[in-house]
Amino acid sequence: MQSLPVPCPADLIPDASGTDAFHKAYRQAMADHAVFVAIESDGPRWTVKADTLTAGPGHTVDDTVNDAIRAAISRLVHNREVDADAYTGPIYFMMHSVSSEERARELAAALHAALHEDLEPLHHTIPPTTD
């Protein structure tokens, strides 16, 4: 497995379904001192995961970025695109019950970009709340 580009395009987000695939992707991120990001199959649904600990102590995410990510995930919960048990950081992020692999990859790529201080994909990918 090779290092992920920053930001990582959706089609290169690793599928870490299964224990072995997860451990391989996580270990690779640790070895590269990179933010871990992956998707996992959860039956017919998908999960998005990200973890900044793998990047080491030199990687920080400021409060503005964390607030934007938290708000975006809250909108996904509100719109019922992900389950309410989502982890919204500031170090570990997880979104369950994403409807398709394509959408999971899109969300993971936007989250990865945001964790590298590029919020544009996050704003573009996650629509505002509809009331």
The per-residue pLDDT for 129 is 65
The share of the chain scoring above pLDDT 70, in percent, equals 95
For the stretch 51-97, pLDDT in tens is 999 999 999 999 999 999 999 999 999 999 999 999 999 999 999 99
Quick one: pLDDT at residue 5?
87
Per-residue pLDDT at 38 exceeds 90: yes
The full length of the chain comes to: 131
Estimate to the nearest angstrom the gap between the alpha carbon of 79 and the chain centroid.
18
The sign one gets for the Cα dihedral 40, 68, 87, 28 is positive
Tell me 109's DSSP state: H
Residue recorded with tokens 């790529």: 109
Smallest CA-to-CA distance from 34 within 68, 69, 1 is with: 1
| In 1-131, alpha helices (H) | 19-32, 63-78, 101-114, 120-125
Q: Across all residues in the chain, what is the average pLDDT?
A: 94
Question: For the chain, what is the total number of helices (H) and then of strands (E)?
Answer: 4, 4
